Amino acid sequence: MRQRDMYHNSFQLQYREPFGAVPKGSNVSLKLDIHQWYKVSQVNLHYIYDKKDDHHIQAMEMNKKVRPYHRYESRITTPEEPQLLWYFFEVVTDNDSLYYGREEVFESGAGHIYDHIPPSWQITVYNPVYQTPNWWKHATMYQIFPDRFYRSGVVDLTRAPKTSLLHTHWDDEPLYIFNEKKEVTRWDFFGGDLQGVIAKLDYLQSLGVTVLYLNPIFEAESNHRYDTGDYHTIDPLLGDKNDFIELIDKAADCNIEIMLDGVFSHTGSNSKYFNREGQYSTLGAYQSKDSPYYEWYTFHKHPYDYETWWGVGTLPTLNKENQDYQDFLIYDKESVIKTWQQRGMKNWRLDVADELTDDLIKKIYKQMKNDDESSVLLGEVWEDATNKTAYGKRRDYFLGGVLDSVMNYPLRRIMLDFMEEEIDADVVHRKVMTLREHYPKHYFYSLMNMLSNHDVERIKTVLEKNVLAHPLEERKEIVKAQVKALSLWLYSFPGIPSLYYGDEAGLTGGKDPDNRKPYPWGKEDHELISWYKKLGSWRNRFTALRTGHWKSHVLNQHVYSFERWTENGEDAFGKKADNEHMIYFINRDHRECVEVSVSVKKEGNWKDIQNPLRIFPSKNGKLRLMLEPNESMLLQYLD
């Protein structure tokens, strides 16, 4: 049988309806086309409930002829328990049985014929009771690594850890000082603090920022502060609780929310709970089995052999199932979550969410929502969060009542692979459509989209590596155009665009610690800052770029495009909105111009939002334009 003799496409409503993730108990129609010249005795739909691996087989009925195909259909009702549902098709002929499933294991869309059990398509079955906060879907994020953003004054060295090394020059290069065992013996600090963030709130507001995500700010020994020493205390080098409360209040005056990094999978070895170094007055788990914190940790042989995060001895892992730890974190009157809620903190990013249990995350989520339904819980997840498996267990992140959002690393990988010419626009389309298919709509519009952060190389550095063969000045122009193209993509795409401090100023940086350089105050790329201010302004101005409908287009192997629009006075969620229609284009080819056309429903003129004098007419259902090398464009329909 030829591959074209059988067809199902999960992206198309004539083959799967409704599209994408569905609420529990929904009816779903699935169809398969088979060429009419085949003598088919039976067509079966196989579908599997993921929770218990329940395998169901249902005979499909031929419901119409779509020459030269016969179309077979089955209707199923999704389970009442939220979970993933997998499906594929079996075609029994006079001679043998063939199977039809996904062509690529991790990509949806059209399928492939197999002579064995194939990769299955995914249907995410979720609980619709849980919705992401509306404000979050409209947010624009800025991420700050606190020690490296801005220093408000002279650093008080008495507040620094004993192992610290303070840079006297703000523009020094960050570094690690290791011993022969590759353990960090001195942590370098630049002295950025909370008052420094407060001093720059007007600047953040000018970028269109509405939520500020801070890497950890609690007391710790290291500069990254993922080795928490005391969850109830602001690190003295950053300030104190009054500085933090002031930051929350003054940020609110600028319509900026604050999100904290919650490191609840492990503590520092130098902490009041573990106290390996003996620098706290408490009786730590390392010091004695009689410690009130002993059961929080897992010792194989006390005190030297204990569970750690990825083998890092300074990061002893917490026992997330321990009730005393859960009380400390969530339920006690002065628990970590409640303490900071009482001080105005309502949004958290969970570090290494995969290292936490779904049960613990649900409990944190419930406590947050009980206090304020508009609070947001975001998780660090590097893969597709709908089908992530960690430690042998499928995670329930987006089935309802667990997380509101995750970091969208898959989108970042797609964007970079496209620019590096590892994939073409057709693959981009399939991959982003797969994400849209897997994620319930309100989660797809709530993902944290980023080009850089503290764990990956900065975007400018990544792009520079791709064009090393070009002369220096040409290389700079290519990278500048590509940074603008990708950032315009990010700010026009569904989800929350996140800007890593300094990217807007032209900061470069490879792997840690190079990606954590101080913000280059006084040496900024002002043209790039001006660009990001425009991006923030456009996103805040046009509802279509935030919660408008979205449609993906493939126009050329080098050109990717998508539409955003609101219509009939509503956005994609039925909220009141002005009618708007925008189309984004990117030509990743830095050598050739590309002429493209895209089908549009509206006849009339389209304005280049970057250059309002450039007008493109649409005629006979087509919008045609020429894209220069490296050019990106966002067009607005003119009523």
For residues 512 and 454, the answer to whether their CB atoms sit within 8 Å is yes
Tokens (6 digits) for 189? 């600090």
* Strand partners of residue 122: 86
Structure confidence by residue, pLDDT tens digits, 339-366: 999 999 999 999 999 999 999 999 999 9
Contact criterion met (CB below 8 Å) for 382 and 399: no
| Residue 1 reports pLDDT greater than 80 | no
Beta bridge partners of 121: 87
Query: Is residue 624 helix, strand or coil?
Result: strand
Q: What does each C-alpha distance from 23 to 73, 117, 575 come to in angstroms? A: 21, 27, 20
351 vs 309: CA distance, rounded Å = 12
66, pLDDT greater than 90: no
Q: Do residues 10 and 434 touch, judged by C-beta distance below 8 A?
A: no
Res. 246 pLDDT band, cuts 50 70 90 = very high
Asked whether the beta carbons of 442 and 376 are under 8 A apart, the reply is no
Amino acid type, 378: L
pLDDT of residue 39: 87
Cα separation values, 279 from 105, 184, 268, 346, 570, Å:
51, 18, 12, 31, 58
550: pLDDT strictly greater than 70: yes
Q: Would you state the pLDDT for residue 90?
A: 98
Neighbours of 508 (CB within 10 A): 19
**pLDDT at residue 38, rounded to an integer:** 84
Q: If you write DSSP's letter for every residue of 460-478 in order, what string do you get?
A: HHHHHHHTTTS-HHHHHHH
Closest of 326, 313, 227 to residue 267, by C-alpha = 227
Going along 377-462, which residue ranges are E strands?
377-379, 389-390, 393-394, 405-406, 448-450
Domain positions in the chain: 3-126
Among all chains, which residue has been given the structure tokens 């280049």?
608
pLDDT of residue 553: 96
Residue 541: both structure tokens together: 């101005």
- Whole-angstrom CA distances from 359 to 214, 348, 376 are 25, 17, 17
pLDDT for the residue numbered 157: 86
- Judged against a pLDDT cut of 90, whether residue 4 lies above it is answered with no
Structure tokens at 154: 């002279």
> Residue 149 in contact with residue 501, Cβ under 8 Å?
yes
CB count in 10 Å sphere of residue 171: 13
pLDDT at 534 exceeding the cut of 80? yes
Average of pLDDT values for 521-529? Answer: 98
3-class state of residue 28 by DSSP: strand
Question: Are 137 and 546 a contacting pair, CB within 8 Å?
Answer: yes
Question: How far is it, in rounded angstroms, from Cα 460 to Cα 465?
Answer: 9
Q: CA 120 from chain center: how many Å?
A: 24
Q: Are strands 604-608 and 559-566 parallel, antiparallel or unpaired?
A: unpaired
pLDDT at 31 over 90: yes
Residue 257 CA: distances (Å) to CA of 113, 136, 615: 50, 10, 38
Residues 6 or more apart whose CB falls under 8 angstroms from that of 185 comprise: 163, 177, 178, 179
Contact 334, 232 (CB under 8 A): yes
* Reported pTM: 0.97
Neighbours of 362 (CB within 10 A): 16
pLDDT for 509 equals: 97
Percent of the chain scoring above 90 in pLDDT: 94
Q: Tell me: the pLDDT tens digits for 553-573?
A: 999 999 999 999 999 999 999
The burial class, CB within 10 Å (0-12 / 13-18 / 19+), for 304 is exposed
Q: Tell me the C-alpha distance between 118 and 100, whole Å.
A: 7
**Residue for token digits 């947010």?**
139
* The pairing of beta strand 347-350 with beta strand 377-379: parallel
Phi, psi angle pair for 131, to nearest 5°: -130, 150
- Whether residue 92 has pLDDT greater than 70: yes
The lowest-confidence range among 42-46, 153-157, 217-221, 395-399 is: 153-157
For residues 551 and 196, what is the distance between their CA atoms, to the nearest angstrom? Answer: 41
Q: Which residues pair with 604 in a beta bridge?
A: 618
Q: Calculate the average pLDDT of the chain.
A: 96
Using alpha carbons only, what angle is made at residue 241 by residues 240 and 245, rounded to the nearest 5 degrees?
Answer: 125
At the fourth CATH level, which superfamily is domain 3-126?
Immunoglobulins (2.60.40.10)
Q: What is the mean pLDDT of residues 388-392?
A: 94
Lowest mean pLDDT segment, chosen from 178-192, 524-538, 541-555: 178-192
CA nearest to 140, candidates 197, 203, 247, 212? 212
Greatest extent of the chain over all pairs of C-alpha atoms, in Å: 84
| Torsion (CA) 109, 549, 564, 450 in degrees, nearest 10 | -70
Q: Strands 611-619 and 622-627: what pairing?
A: antiparallel
Half-sphere exposure of 85 (CA within 13 A, CB side): 26
Output b/e per residue, 390-401; b: 16+ Cβ within 10 A: beeebbbbbbbb
